Amino acid sequence: MGAVTQSVLRRRRYISFGTFEVDQESCTLTRNGSRCRIGRKPYELLLVLLEKPSETVTRQELGIRLWPGETALDSDFKLNTTVCQLRKSFSRGGDDRVYVKTIARKGYAFVVDLKDSDEPLTSLEIPPPRVEETRNVAPKEVQQVSNLRLAKIGAALRIVGLFLAAVLLGAGIARLWISH
């Protein structure tokens, strides 16, 4: 993995939060002992956020750390996608807690308590979720983006339909004119 994943976040091998656990040695994310599907960039994003738990990590810093040498515009788009993928990794399996909080126009913060250990999560007691952790923002944001895309596609189809109707009407009128 890249330079981001090689940084030492904590002195111990495992970092746990909620029902999840990061194994820094094997570079994996597990939930209740089962390995989670997570891409390389979402995993790197998770590690950067874990370096500063409960603190805002700016979009600019994340862009520089995850995509060095790219323009801010390119990394900004990729960051949105990567945050969505990370949230999706957390929400698979029905976990609806908020782990990554969006700080409007600034960046993101990892908002749950962390534990570090030399033993895997299965040997640790899992605390009940805090009240503010019980709402997941990602599905609502994804739904809003999907609704916006559908609205744009619908509007484009209506315009194309009106254009075709106008062309056919014009062709019909022209045919009638010529036949008389």
Q: Whole-angstrom Cα distance, residue 87 to residue 85? A: 5
pLDDT for 70-112, tens place per residue? 777 777 889 999 999 999 888 876 666 788 999 998 999 998 8
Per-residue model confidence (pLDDT) at position 84: 92
pLDDT for 7-49, tens place per residue? 335 567 888 888 888 888 888 998 888 888 899 999 999 999 9
pLDDT for 147-166, tens place per residue? 767 777 888 888 999 999 99
With CA atoms as reference, report the closest residue to 50 among 96, 102, 4. Answer: 4
The 3-class secondary structure across 111-137, one letter per residue, is CCCCEEECCCHHHCCCCCCCHHHCCCC
Per-residue model confidence (pLDDT) at position 107: 93
Beta bridge partners of 17: 20
For the chain, state the CA radius of gyration.
24
User: What's this model's pTM, rounded to 2 decimal places?
Assistant: 0.60
pLDDT: which is higher, 128 or 13: 13
